[in-house]
């Protein structure tokens, strides 16, 4: 199955509930930081991410689906 880079980032964030930095995501998926930043921007625009700043780092979390 051919997953897009955005789908790979999404899957990784869903598995890592402690949050990940851009560098950690890039290293885990063997992608450039710029490619990861673009995928994160698209996911953030769709309001699927939560971002928490810790010092100089930004931790990215997958927003959990809310059951209604």
Residue the block writes with tokens 């673009």 = 38
Going from N- to C-terminal start, the domains of the chain cover 5-62
List helix spans (H) across the chain: 5-15, 22-29, 33-45
pLDDT tens digit sequence for 6-15: 999 999 999 9
Cα separation, 64 vs 2, in Å, equals 25
CATH hierarchy code of domain 5-62: 1.10.10.10
Residue the block writes with tokens 């931790």 = 59
The residues, ordered by sequence, that sit 6+ positions from 58 with a Cβ below 8 Å of its Cβ are 21, 22, 51, 52
pLDDT tens digit sequence for 27-68: 999 999 999 999 999 999 999 999 999 999 999 999 976 555
Q: What's the pTM?
A: 0.87
């Amino acid at each position: 199955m051919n997953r897009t880079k955005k789908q790979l980032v999404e899957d990784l964030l869903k598995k890592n509930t402690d949050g990940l930095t851009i560098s950690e995501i890039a290293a885990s998926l063997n992608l450039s930081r710029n490619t990861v930043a673009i995928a994160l921007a698209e996911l953030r625009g769709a309001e699927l991410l939560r971002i928490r700043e810790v010092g100089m780092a930004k931790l990215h979390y997958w927003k959990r689906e809310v059951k209604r």
